[in-house]
Amino acid sequence: MSNNTIPSMEALPVELLYRIFDNLDAQTIVFSVRPVCRFLRSVVKTYDRHILDLKLISKLNFYALCRLIHPQNVISLVLLNDELTSNQIDLFISLVRLRQLTRLRSLTLLNIDELQLNVILKRINLTVLTFFSCTIRKYDDRRRKTTNELLASIIAQSSLEKIEFDIKSERMLQISWPINCTIQYLIINGSITIDNLFTILQCSPYLHTIILKESCNKIINNITVPFSPPRYFRQLRSLTMEKLDVTIDKLESFLLLTPSLVYLKLIGEKNILDGKRWEQFIEINLPHLDKFEFYFVECSSIKKTEADLELIIASFRTPFWIEHKK
């Protein structure tokens, strides 16, 4: 007799369903998958790799997610205070048992008040974090010391690989960076001093990527060459600098400190499009550079002719650019 068994979803290994869930956002899992049947309801209940992004979410769905997803099953969390969700972080603190967030690997706190930051960081488990991002919108000097200690404790975690900060430069200066910090990837959205940047690089032997999104002019203009003794940051492989408005001489002085760069991206307002000069500098000082991206806007009272533009383009048509660095 033929086998007339009807295939059933329940015959699938639960881990296979978990892998499918890994590619879905929390709202889809809870509001679309969970109600389908009793079996999927039970699978969703035990799924322990939720990526909980609470940006741009309705208050009704916010309450439901906080109620239906157990904190221990969340590995990534994004919280945001904005015009539409002005008190979202306070609501989350009141609805969720923060001490049960024991498996968080990624934590993003956007436009957070310093008091809220202190409450969250004191209660959650920081020991398995691999990524931490923080944007402080409201400071409270009474909590300055506590905040600095909590941020320093995060940076000191051996599991941490990537950090993104958007905080005042004076607060950045006050954070204690541990020797042999394990971070590999750093994004700074606010301003930072040259001394602070040097301290971070000296304490972070594994730091291979830095993205500086705010104006880097103060950093570069405060470079003094030659150093005594010279300070090179050979661990750095990738560097992005935005909102540049410095001379090419100053920029070169800074880049001399990063001889191991493989990737370099520059965004600025001052024209430093001299292909021949860049060619000579890269060949001598950045021998490992594989990819160089630059975006510059020039505002000049002197009108550029077609011949002027052709000269700029021609400087990037040498064999160095066309054949070796294509």
Average pLDDT in the 121-136 region? 94
At 49, list the tokens.
Answer: 């790799």
Q: What is the mean pLDDT of residues 245-269?
A: 89
Dist CA 109 CA 36 (whole Å): 33
- Tell me how far apart the alpha carbons of residues 113 and 101 are, in angstroms, rounded to a whole number: 20
Residues 129-158: pLDDT tens digits? 999 999 998 999 999 999 999 999 999 999
Let me know: does 190 contact 167? Beta carbons within 8 Å: yes
Question: Worst-scoring range by mean pLDDT, 1-5, 84-88, 103-107?
Answer: 1-5
Across 38-42, 53-57, 304-308, 309-313, the highest mean pLDDT is recorded for: 38-42
Query: Would you list the domain boundaries of the chain?
Result: 11-47, 48-207
**pLDDT given for residue 281 in this prediction:** 93
Confidence of residue 253 (pLDDT cuts 50, 70, 90): confident
Token couple for 50:
């939720």
- Which pLDDT belongs to residue 315? 85
**Residue 303 pLDDT class (50, 70, 90 cuts):** confident
Residue 39: which pLDDT band, with cuts at 50, 70 and 90?
A: very high
Band the pLDDT of 1: cuts 50, 70, 90. Answer: very low
- CATH assignment of 48-207? 3.80.10.10
81 pLDDT band, cuts 50/70/90, is: confident
Positive or negative, the CA dihedral 263, 266, 272, 275 is positive
Residue 3: pLDDT band (50, 70, 90) is low
Packed helices 88-95 and 114-123: angle between N→C axes, nearest 10 degrees: 30
Average pLDDT over every residue of 107-135: 94
What is the band of 224 on the pLDDT scale with cuts at 50, 70, 90?
low
Identify the pLDDT of residue 229.
Answer: 47
The answer on pLDDT for 165 being more than 90 is yes
**Range of lowest pLDDT (70-84, 172-186, 225-239, 285-299):** 225-239
Say if pTM beats, i.e. exceeds, 0.75: yes
- Alpha-carbon distance of 264 to 288, in angstroms, equals 11
Among 100-114, 243-257, 293-307, name the one with the lowest average pLDDT: 293-307
- What's the whole-number mean pLDDT along residues 215-232? 65
| Rounded Cα gap, residues 113 and 139, in angstroms | 6
